[in-house]
Structure 1
Amino acid sequence: MKNLSISRAAALAVVSVTLSLGAQAQARGSKQEAVVLADAAANHVKQVGTDRAFKDFTHDKTKWVRKDLYVAVTDLEGKVLAHGGNERLIGKHMMAVRDATGFAFMARMIEVAKSPQAQGWVDYEWANPQTKRIEGKSSLVRLLPDGQSVMSVGYYR
């Protein structure tokens, strides 16, 4: 009887850990979901203009934050214009910010946005707000139609 209780407790522990890991995996956005959100954000800018869209990206969490994905926008100097993950960053200059390895990822994002393709992926190491650990992150970066704003949506790899 005692062994049966121990077996049940062990089984419950395994199920609990499995469910927890599954929930954590679901809370993470994928590369494809980042592309879908970036496409929707670019269309939103075209429909309502930059001012309205940037406010929406920052404040309308139900529409513009999906799992751990969100829309961020800077100008070409690295000043944050919209940020679905952290509203306190609005107005901050991020050009000099480096990732955990010393990589100047914001400068690279702007460089990618200014390239002939006006879009691309930038990989860097960043603190995941869900796990509180430094993790690999990839952001899809696009120059918006105004030619002055750089939008990004990133996922943790």
Structure 2
Amino acid sequence: MLTRFQKLWLASFLALGFLSMPASAAEYGSANEAKAMVQKAVDAMKKHGVDATVADINKRDGQYQDRDLYVVVYDMNGKNLAHLNPKMVGKEMLDLTDVDGKFFIRERIELVKAKGRAWQDYKFVNPTTKQIEPKSMYVEKFENVIVGCGIYQ
């Protein structure tokens, strides 16, 4: 059962106009491409700072988006700092669960605290199919933020 917040979150995610995203499997991003997007964002943070890079990610100019891939940034307390969906930005997400009840933001924080970088599996709405599907997100800690980019399985 989805909570009211989860329903609002999923509805706002779908409402962004993802209908124009590609549907063929060949046009989906790969695991290597997701890792490369995270590295691109981390490199920009090293060069220009976290705040400037987060602002660039939130501009939605395409630099941190490619097909179904997009970079997200969270602080170490679960607050969303950057997301393709502007309604997500600034929201506390620590208590967000997927459809199986998995606290995936909490898990993401623990993974980067323990390993610095990792792949994480959970379920999320695929913006192309509009269905809840298995997703793998590559996450990496930089300073006091978590930078991630995910793929649908």
Check whether TM > 0.5: yes
Aligned 1:76-91 pairs, distance under 5 A: 76-83=76-83, 85-91=84-90
Aligned to 2:43: 43
C-alpha offsets along residues 79-104 of structure 1, whole Å, 9 cap, x if unaligned?
01111x21111110111010111111
Where 1:36 maps in the other structure, the secondary structure is helix
Aligned to 1:16: none
Where 1:121 maps in the other structure, the secondary structure is strand
* Length-normalised TM-score, structure 2: 0.82
* Length-normalised TM-score, structure 1: 0.80
Question: More displaced, 117-126 or 24-33?
Answer: 24-33
Deviation at 1:27, TM superposition (A): 3.1
Aligned to 1:133: 131
Amino acid at match of 1:150: I
Could you say which structure has the larger radius of gyration?
Answer: 1
Is 1:101 matched up with 2:100? yes
RCO higher in 1 or 2 (8 Å CA, sep ≥ 6)?
2
C-alpha offsets along residues 108-133 of structure 1, whole Å, 9 cap, x if unaligned?
00001111x31101100111111001
Q: Is the 8 A contact 2:112 2:146 kept in 1?
A: yes
Q: Residues of 2 paired with 1:110 and 1:27: CA distance? A: 30
Aligned to 2:146: 150
Q: Residues of 2 paired with 1:24 and 1:103: CA distance? A: 29
Identical columns (%): 35
Question: Structure 1 stretches (4+) deviating beyond 3 angstroms?
Answer: none
Change over 3 Å in CA distance of 1:28–1:143 after alignment to 2: same
Q: Residues of 2 paired with 1:149 and 1:35: CA distance? A: 16
Where 2:24 maps in the other structure, the secondary structure is helix
Aligned to 1:67: 67
Structure number having the greater helix percentage: 1
Amino acid at match of 2:82: A
Gapped regions of structure 2 (runs ≥ 5): 1-21
